[in-house]
Amino acid sequence: MQIWQEVLQVEPIGVTENFFELGGHSLLAIRLIAVIEKQMGCSLPVVALFRRATVEAIAALIAQGRMSSDADLVVPLQTKGDLPPLFLVHQAGGYALSYSVLARSLGEERPVYALQARGLDGKQPPLKTIESMASTYLRAIRVIQPKGPYWLGGHSLGGLIAFEMASQLVAGGVCVENLLIIDTHPPLGNPEMEAAVNDEAAILCFITEQIGLHFHTSVKINHGEIVNLQPAARLEYVLQILHQHQLIPRDSGRELIAGLLNVYQANLQANLSYQPMPIPGSTITLFKTAALAAQFLDDPTLGWGQLTSEEVQVYSVTGEHQTLLQEPYVTQLANLIRGIEAGGKGHEA
């Protein structure tokens, strides 16, 4: 109990209160797991907290000594409603809670689950291809919904993975009722991304900065300070910086930061190597920001129209790529999705 109170800066906390309803988020979860690991000498997968977010449930897991499994890849964000569930796939960072505000904004008519990347615990290896992610995630969602029709979606890289999941389902004769592509396009040759995949120092700088932003702390690492270090020394340097800013406890968090790095690198590489094939008869609904639309002035579908025999339903949304899943912009996105559920049609814009 004391560990939860220290991490969340909330007290008192009851054993049945939900970590995320108390103000927790994905990076606070990393901090909590790191403190549990250090103080109690046990190791838990971070995804366990997303599925069992109370002191009582986590204590039971520690007593069982349970390890990660593919069942933990599915994170329930909103479980009420009688409509078929919506499954949303993680972005390059791998964590699923980026969809939590959207799930809440969609209401309680349709359950919403998010898929989280394997390997974030730093123990399991990350999946290396979009195809293997798709097949693994399909096995996981079938535990919740054994048969179609399915509703799938994803933002950024998640849109590509969701597309491949739809492709595999359709190839097996399973109906995909709707595929929601949120501000992404089919893979294009991108020299900058190809260079970024192999620049571990740059990825660590980015991850460190993002961790700081989640804790409302400015944390910046100069690329030149770590680029010539050996990988182990580079990771230790980052851990020291995070400890200095009191974002993780001393001598902990190594596996979790390594997991973030490995997942991010694997996802970037998977994106580069993925070659999608057209899906016959699938409905694609595209939500695009103005910035992304400006890169495809001659194609309102951003290239998705070449990958389906059906008309792509296109919606323009406010916000930027990094902010459209947050308030206030997410409200518009949620309203558009609810309109699709009610039988609305998109427009090319």
Average the pLDDT over 183-188 and give the result. Answer: 89
More confident residue, 269 or 60: 269
Tell me what pLDDT residue 45 has.
Answer: 67
| pLDDT for 208 | 86
pLDDT bucket at 292, cuts 50 / 70 / 90: very high
What per-residue confidence (pLDDT) applies to 348?
Answer: 42
Fold of the 68-187+274-341 domain: Rossmann fold (3.40.50)
The whole-number pLDDT of residue 321 equals 94
Q: How confident is the model at residue 206 (pLDDT cuts 50, 70, 90)?
A: confident
pLDDT for 193 equals 61
**Quick one: pLDDT band at residue 286, thresholds 50, 70, 90?**
very high
Q: Which pLDDT score, from 0 to 100, does residue 324 have? A: 95
Name the more confident of 84 and 62: 84
What would the two tokens of residue 132 be? 């293997």
User: Which of 103-112, 117-126, 158-167 shows the lowest per-residue confidence on average (mean pLDDT)?
Assistant: 117-126
Chain position carrying tokens 């838990």: 44
pLDDT value of position 70? 67
pLDDT tens-place string over residues 44-81: 766 677 677 788 888 887 777 655 566 679 988 899 99
pTM for this structure? Answer: 0.84
On the CB side of 30, CA atoms within 13 Å amount to 27
Dig out the tokens for 5 from the structure. 């109170």
Percent of the chain predicted with pLDDT > 90 = 49
- What are phi and psi for residue 110, nearest 5 degrees? -130, 125
Residue 309: pLDDT over 60: yes
Condensed to tens digits (0 to 9), the pLDDT of residues 136-167 reads 999 999 999 999 999 999 999 999 999 999 99
Cα 38 to Cα 335: distance, rounded to the nearest angstrom? 44
- The answer to whether the CB of 291 falls within 8 A of the CB of 321 is yes
Q: Which CATH number fits domain 1-67: 3.40.50.720, 2.60.40.10, 3.20.190.10, 1.10.1200.10?
A: 1.10.1200.10
Q: What is the largest CA-CA distance in the chain?
A: 58
pLDDT band at residue 195 using 50, 70 and 90 as cut-offs: low
What is the Cα–Cα distance from 128 to 117, expressed in whole angstroms?
11
pLDDT for the residue numbered 247: 77
String of DSSP letters for 277-334: --BTT--EEEEE-HHHHGGGTT-TTTTGGGGBSSPPEEEE-SS-TTTTTSTTHHHHHH
**pLDDT for res 3:** 85
What is the model's pLDDT at position 40?
77
Q: Taking phi first (over 0 means left), then psi (-120 to 50 degrees means alpha), and beta for anything else, what does residue 113 get?
A: beta
| Spatial separation of the C-alpha atoms in residues 184 and 330, rounded to whole Å | 16
pLDDT of residue 219: 87
Question: Residue 213 — pLDDT band, cuts 50, 70, 90?
Answer: low
The residue whose two tokens read 């804790």 is 215
- Selection from 179, 181, 229, 223 nearest residue 204 by Cα: 223
